[in-house]
Structure 1
Amino acid sequence: MRETCVPTGVELKDTGFGYTLSLIGGKYKMIILYWLAEKKVMRHNELKRSIGTISFKTLSLMLKELEADDLIIRKEFPQVPPKVEYSLTERGLSLIPLLNMICDWGEKNSLQPQEGVKKQA
C-alpha cells in the first residue's frame, strides 16, 4: 500500500488524487460515466431520463466538461432534427474499474450494520 496519496506540504490539486477528483467530482459526472459504460451510446434526453434528477442545463454543462476532459465523445449527425450521441473514450473507459470499486465498497459497507453502532428502533 502506498504511503499517502496526498503528501504533507503538497496541495491536493497538485496530486493524482486531486486531478482524478477534478475530472469525476461533483454530483453527476460519475453517474453519467456509469450510464455511458452500461449503454455504450446514449443521446442527451436518454441520459436525462436515466439520471432523473438532473436539469437540461446541468446535463449539458457536465457533458461539455467531460468532453473537454477527453472522457466522452460527442458525435453529431448532420440531419434534421439534429441527432447527437455520447459515448466513452478509451480514457473514459479506463475510469470504469474505479467506479466499479466505488460501487463494490458502497454495497459492502452500506448494507452491513457497522460494528459498535446500535440500530435505532
Structure 2
Amino acid sequence: MRLERITIMLMLLATHTSSATDLEQGRALYIHYCGACHDAGAGHPGTMRLGVSRDQAHAVLTARSDLTTDYVMQISRAGNQMMPPFRATEINDAELAELAAYVTQHYKHTQ
C-alpha cells in the first residue's frame, strides 16, 4: 500500500512542474526536517558523514545534481545508516513530495 502511494506521488510529480510556491513550501519542510543535519558547513552530521563516505561534492544535499525525487522520498521514509526514517505521521506523502522536489530542484534553480 505504501509503495503504491509513493508510486502515485511520483507520477503526479512527474507531470507537475513545481511552482515557486511549491519550492518555498518544500524549502520550509527541508529546513524543519533536514536542515539541522544536512545544511552546509561544520556541525551538520549528515553533511559531514556524506563528505566522508562519498566526497565533498556530494556532502550538501541542496548542492547536488544527482538526486532524484524517488531516491529522496525512499531514503526519507526508510532512513539510511545514522539517519532515522520519517514516518507518514511525522511528514505526510504530499509534504514529503514537496520536500523532495525542493531538494532535487534547488540545484537547478541556483545555476
TM-score, length basis structure 1? 0.25
Bigger relative CO (Cα 8 Å, ≥ 6 apart): 2
When you count strand as a share of all residues, which structure comes out higher?
Answer: 1
TM-score (norm: length of structure 2):
0.27
